[in-house]
Amino acid sequence: MFSVREKRWIAEMIQQCLRDTGHPELPKGEIQFHLHVQGAESWSWADIKNNGACPNPEINPHNEKQDRRQ
């Protein structure tokens, strides 16, 4: 579920949302997080981490084909 491009974009948006809170306990640099998204079917899911945690993400050809912006 989600292409690498989509996961990276989602991770950027989450990073920005967290940063926009201005919470004093957040680190100055990249915020580490792990998001699990459950899809409509039991086999459909995605784990999304901050981009710095995945410098060389694995590519799933099935997910890449579903990205309508590529």
Please tell me the pTM assigned to this model. Answer: 0.90
pLDDT band at 70 (very low <50, low <70, confident <90, very high): low
Rounded Cα gap, residues 49 and 57, in angstroms: 10
Return phi, psi of residue 23, to 5°: -65, 130
Helix (H) or strand (E) holding 37: strand 34-38
- Per-residue pLDDT tens for 12-66? 999 999 999 999 999 999 999 999 999 999 999 999 999 999 899 989 999 999 9
Tell how strand 45-49 and strand 34-38 pair up: antiparallel
